[in-house]
Amino acid sequence: MSEPKDELLDHAYDGIREYDNPLPKWWLGIFYISIIFALIYIPYYLFLGGPSQEDEYAAEMAAAAASAPKVDAAGEDALEKIAADAGRVGEGKALFAVNCMPCHAADAGGLVGPNLTDDHWIHGGRLTDIARVISEGVPEKGMIAWKKQLSPAQIQSLTAFVRSLRGTKPAAPKPPEGEPFGG
Ligand code: HEC
């Protein structure tokens, strides 16, 4: 680029002369565009009800919650099939030994958490009930919401394993809690 030629303006103040150095075109372009942008942006978001950051955040969280796979959405029949799959039960057994044993005991006879081998359930004994409790937890009673740490498939495997515990004989079973479940 050739250097623009400086032109002296024809005035002087106390002997100080001034060059006419126009701002570069690209710079002026950005400047004017930013003014036009502000004229649209500020009225839209401040006065015309454009969504705030909080609104957009809430909308995105609601959309994510709605699209997240629900462990119990698979339904009783699908969970019944998983419960009949020895591989999935085995996967659930391994997950149980790592995550659940501290509160429910290694043989699921119950410690802080209830006995999972009897026919009594506080939150219902259907497979969808069990999957939901594992996923959502019962935070006020100390049962963790595992959906934050385990995938829906892992929670389904745990559900299958919990079902396989029914009728087993733990060493020191906690007395039954909740309602008897026939099914
Ligand atoms: C920090 C202790 C703790 C851990 C770890 C824990 N639980 Fe629990 N769990 C509880 C408590 C306490 C309850 C009883 C909640 C209530 O009284 O409503 C419970 C309830 C349950 C129930 C419902 C029982 C019923 O009678 O309805 C199931 C199923 C269950 N837990 C499975 C699991 C599985 C599977 C894991 C491992 C992924 C696990 N829990 C890990 C404390 C725990």
pLDDT of 183 above 80:
no
Cβ neighbors of 167 (< 8 A, separation 6 or more) are 117
Angle at which helices 86-99 and 75-83 pack, to 10 degrees? 90
Distance 139 CA to ligand 1 centre (A): 10
Tokens of 115: 């006995």
pLDDT-derived band at 178, boundaries 50, 70, 90 = very high
Average pLDDT across the chain, whole number? 90
Q: Is the pTM above the cut of 0.75?
A: no
Q: Find out whether the beta carbon of 127 lies less than 6 Å from any atom of ligand 1.
A: no
pLDDT of 40 above 70:
yes
State how far Cα 16 lies from the chain centre. Answer: 66
pLDDT of 112 above 60:
yes
Distance 142 CA to ligand 1 centre (A): 8
At which residue do the structure tokens 């710079």 appear? 27
Residue type, 4: P
pLDDT-derived band at 5, boundaries 50, 70, 90 = confident
Architecture of the CATH domain 71-180: Orthogonal Bundle (1.10)
Distance 68 CA to ligand 1 centre (A): 22
Q: Find out whether the beta carbon of 138 lies less than 6 Å from any atom of ligand 1.
A: yes
Distance 81 CA to ligand 1 centre (A): 23
pLDDT of 28 above 60:
yes
- Which residue spans of the chain are classified as CATH 1.10.760.10? 71-180
pLDDT the model gives residue 3: 65
Q: Find out whether the beta carbon of 101 lies less than 6 Å from any atom of ligand 1.
A: no
Q: Which atom of ligand 1 is nearest to the CA of 161?
A: 35
At which residue do the structure tokens 């839209």 appear? 44
